A = this chain, B = another copy of it.
Amino acid sequence: MAEITYDVLGIGNAIVDVLAPAEDAFLEAHDMVKGSMTLIDAARAEELYTAMGSGAERSGGSAANTVAGVAALGGRACFVGKVRDDQLGQIFAHDIRAIGVDFHSAPATGGAPTARCLISVTPDAKRTMHTFLGACVELGPEDVDEDLVAASAVTYLEGYLWDPDSAKEAFIKAMGAARAAGRKVALSLSDSFCVDRHRDEFLDLVEHHVDILFANEQEITSLYEVENFDDAMQAVRGHCEIAALTRSEKGAVIVAGDEVHVIDAEPVDQVVDTTGAGDLYASGFLTGLTMGLGLPECGRMAGIAAAEIISHMGARPEVDMQALMKEKLG
């Protein structure tokens, strides 16, 4: 068996976020569904960007945020994703490397520009996202190195990868390589609309291929098309080795066979922007897991990491995360 070089290998859409505050009226005027992620084309991206207020650009992308969090927490992390050789692509590559993640995916030299996600943050701290996938559609199985997957304790995949066709193939290849090497496969369901788009395939993934599942309440109830959280929890418990189900301010429930751990949400002084909450939850959880901690401790680390990210704008950590964990966990 190959040596483990990385605790977590993340594969996902490589995206630069454009964050701008917005009023609820702005969402209504532009037919936006609060809290959701909608895929848009270049023309709609242009239209929405023109309508948006002055923004701040920060590297984002769901799995990219997660591995950035893992690296910030002291884990060994690697990312696979596709940018173009443009300015936003350079920003993405700089930021993920600067936080300590290895990132070697070759940028696309033609085609669409680096992906961007237009994020409207309303006064209630909820984020509404519109993603122009751009160069992410160029990610394909050729970008997945099976040796790299075999050298990673956990391969973490975002459900959003199911949207661009060739990225889905990359996803499947990585998943197969992880299984073949006896490594763990982790999946984030990403978004309830994403679950809607790919429900049958996601059910198959969860039932047969995924070891560690991350989902929030909306996503897991959407997956099983059930009315309430408890039914969803019962449905998932036989399937994955571990399911970490998040419920915002109600905390999270971690289900692992017969084990069920209910973990309170970490208190937050002021929730500023929920962008990245789920991503950083996964960072904390997977870092704990690859450190060999028990599930309640993993859940606690996850909650602390999520609490940090929602206390400020943007989906990448802004404080010394290792010091934060020491302070909180002692």
Which A residues lie at the B interface, using CB under 8 A?
A: 20-21, 49-50, 52-59, 68, 86-88, 91, 94-96, 98-99, 113-114, 314, 316, 318
User: What B residues does A56 contact at CB under 8 A?
Assistant: 56-58, 314
Closest Cβ neighbor of A96 among chain B residues: B54
User: Could you show 29 A-B contacts with beta carbons less than 8 Å apart?
Assistant: A20-B98, A21-B318, A49-B94, A50-B94, A52-B94, A53-B98, A53-B99, A54-B68, A54-B94, A54-B95, A54-B96, A54-B99, A54-B316, A55-B58, A55-B91, A55-B94, A55-B95, A55-B98, A56-B57, A56-B58, A56-B314, A57-B58, A57-B91, A86-B86, A86-B87, A87-B87, A87-B88, A87-B113, A87-B114
Q: A302 to chain B: closest CB distance in Å?
A: 21
Whether A52 contacts B98 by the Cβ 8 Å rule is yes
Q: A22 to chain B: closest CB distance in Å?
A: 11
Not counting A54-B59, A54-B95, A54-B99, a sample of 13 additional A-B residue pairs whose C-beta atoms are within 8 angstroms of each other reads A49-B94, A50-B94, A54-B94, A54-B316, A55-B58, A55-B95, A56-B56, A56-B57, A57-B57, A57-B58, A57-B91, A86-B87, A87-B113
Q: A103 to chain B: closest CB distance in Å?
A: 12
Closest Cβ neighbor of A89 among chain B residues: B87
Assembly CA distance A114 to B58 (angstroms): 18
Q: A262 to chain B: closest CB distance in Å?
A: 34
What copy number does this chain have within its complex? 2
Assembly CA distance A113 to B52 (angstroms): 24
User: What B residues does A99 contact at CB under 8 A?
Assistant: 53-54
Assembly CA distance A316 to B50 (angstroms): 18
Assembly CA distance A96 to B53 (angstroms): 9
> Residue among A56, A68, A94, A318 with the most chain B CB within 10 A?
A56
Q: A117 to chain B: closest CB distance in Å?
A: 14
Assembly CA distance A282 to B86 (angstroms): 35
User: What B residues does A54 contact at CB under 8 A?
Assistant: 59, 68, 94-96, 98-99, 316
User: What B residues does A55 contact at CB under 8 A?
Assistant: 58, 91, 94-95, 98
Closest Cβ neighbor of A19 among chain B residues: B56
User: What B residues does A94 contact at CB under 8 A?
Assistant: 49-50, 52, 54-55
Q: A56 to chain B: closest CB distance in Å?
A: 5
User: What B residues does A96 contact at CB under 8 A?
Assistant: 54
User: What B residues does A98 contact at CB under 8 A?
Assistant: 20, 52-55
